[in-house]
Amino acid sequence: MDLVIKILQFFLCFTILVGIHELGHFIMARIFHIRVEKFYIFFDPWFSLFKFRHKDTEYGLGWLPLGGYVKIAGMIDESMDKEQMKQAPKPDEFRAKPAWQRFLVMIAGVVMNVLLAIVIYCGICYTWGDTYLANEDARWGYNFNEAGHKLGFHDGDRILTIDGQPVEKIQDIVTALLITEGDRQVRVLRDGVETDISLPLDDLIAMRQEKGYEGFLTLRYPFIVDSMTSQAAIAALRPGDEIRAVDELRNAEFPEYQKYIASKAGDSVHLEVLRGDNTLQIALPVSDEGVIGVISSNQIYTPRTQKYTFWESIPAGIHRTGEMLSSYWEQLKLIVQPKTKMYEELGGFIAIGSIFPSEWNWQDFWIKTAFLSIILAVMNIIPIPGLDGGHAIFTFWEMITRRKVSEKVLEMAQYVGMFILLMLLLYANGNDIYRFFIK
């Protein structure tokens, strides 16, 4: 059932993204009175699952879930319809229209995906707000996994800045370490002293390739008094007191203190307690059961939530879209740089599908749909023949030079682009197969 829910989310998301993208081309073509012969969600080689005709356009659902398309009359596209191109241009064909109109038709899909991301992020901000754990609230620092220790972090370190910039949200820390094309300088507060840690790019690449970012850091849980159950503890302590040391054990977490106190059953322990701005020294007996009658608070960290009114959600959604566009563009630049080795992490349909949870959560679904819409927009604007960016770049060249690129060149470019895309598709999905079934 978990797998079914993942698959349903993937197909619903993909259908929305492709449908909106192709709708952009369709609407802009209609605005300029260009004939659209087909509008398909998914591809339909040999047959389609469903189709109907309205006016001059055939609408349908293909069986091959690798995208979708609109077939615009008079345009060299993935259908490679050469017979139509041999005929004289008709007034309602793409090739008969001015270059600026053709340019707008080609970028309309990308624009629609960006607009979709904006609308979704606006809706998320208005409906759920922005909930996050603030880095400055992590007053007791973090625990790090093995990868973090290899990079030079110590348990209890508080992260202050990365490359001189303060980090607002905890979830941004790992992202900042993953998305980089050079070394990182991290300043931490360690035992009350600010310490700089230099993270070489090679070490960060190794951490990323070994998936050391999974569980990279976790919040430390101090011994904060919630309530007391023994007379001695009631007399000595107050709710909210922070126990900072038990005998010689210092700067530990609650489970460590608990284990140590249990080892002193029938004896007594000396506590160093922080109450407000005052530090107190308190001795408490340990029962034969190994407890001092203190219940620790489990409400240490409270997520912050930024709420938005309807009108506030609009600029917030636009800002968030801009941030995600910038972030993904940076990731894309790293992929084409051999030294980062991020090309080894490219994934296909299995990788995309795996990001969806095994239970349905609308907030999570829309967050992922918005991000994938941005990915689709960025990938399609890349000037590779066969993608919208490839078509647009030839049209833009025509607008500048006033010279139309020959149909023979466009045809050859389409073949080259389709070959490149096929190789990328095979490589990305091959990575999936290797990671999920072999590695």
Q: How far apart are the first and last CA of the chain?
A: 25
Q: Name the amino acid, one letter, at 264.
A: K
**Has residue 26 been placed in a domain?**
yes
Determine the longest span between alpha carbons in the chain, in angstroms: 99
* 153-186: b (≥16 Cβ within 10 Å) or e: bbbbbbbbebeeeebeebeebbeebbbbeeebeb
What are 161-182's pLDDT values in tens digits? Answer: 999 999 899 988 988 888 877 8
**Has residue 340 been placed in a domain?**
no
Domain co-membership, 200 together with 240: no
State the pLDDT confidence band at 96, using cuts at 50, 70 and 90.
Answer: confident
**Has residue 271 been placed in a domain?**
yes
Q: Take residue 387 and report the two structure tokens written for it.
A: 């993608």
**Has residue 324 been placed in a domain?**
no
**Has residue 343 been placed in a domain?**
no
Number of compact structural domains in the chain: 3
Taking the C-alpha atoms of residue 328 and residue 320, their distance in angstroms, rounded to an integer, is: 12
Domain co-membership, 118 together with 139: no
Domain co-membership, 211 together with 278: no
**Has residue 38 been placed in a domain?**
yes
Question: Could you list the residue range(s) of the whole structural domain that residue 106 is in?
Answer: 2-129+351-438
Domain co-membership, 117 together with 135: no
What are 191-236's pLDDT values in tens digits? Answer: 889 999 999 988 888 888 788 888 899 999 898 989 888 888 888 8
pLDDT confidence of residue 415: 64
**Has residue 166 been placed in a domain?**
yes
Cβ burial of 398 (10 Å; 0-12, 13-18, 19+) is middle
What are 399-411's pLDDT values in tens digits? Answer: 888 777 666 766 6
Domain co-membership, 149 together with 213: yes
3-state secondary structure of 24: helix
DSSP 255: H
pTM of the model: 0.79
For CA atoms 85, 89, 94, 97, give the dihedral sign: positive
Domain co-membership, 135 together with 253: no
Domain co-membership, 43 together with 89: yes
Domain co-membership, 110 together with 16: yes
Give the residue from 367, 396, 365, 393 showing the smallest Cα distance to 380: 393
Q: What's the whole-number average pLDDT of the chain? A: 83
pLDDT confidence of residue 201: 87
pLDDT confidence of residue 401: 82
What are 207-217's pLDDT values in tens digits? Answer: 887 888 888 99
Domain co-membership, 143 together with 262: no
**Has residue 331 been placed in a domain?**
no
CB atoms within 10 A of CB 421: 17
- Last residue of one domain, picked from the residues 296, 318, 342: 296
What are 7-18's pLDDT values in tens digits? Answer: 888 888 888 888
pLDDT confidence of residue 116: 96
Least confident span in 296-300, 370-374, 402-406: 402-406
CB hemisphere CA count around 274 (13 angstroms): 11
What are 120-152's pLDDT values in tens digits? Answer: 999 999 999 988 899 998 988 999 999 999 999
* Domain at 194, CATH number: 2.30.42.10
What dihedral angle (degrees, nearest 10) is formed by the CA atoms of 47, 53, 59, 62? -10
pLDDT at 84 over 70: no
State the pLDDT confidence band at 426, using cuts at 50, 70 and 90.
Answer: low
Domain co-membership, 6 together with 88: yes
Domain co-membership, 201 together with 250: no
For CA atoms 413, 416, 420, 425, give the dihedral sign: positive
Domain co-membership, 125 together with 6: yes
- Last residue of one domain, picked from the residues 278, 306, 334: 306
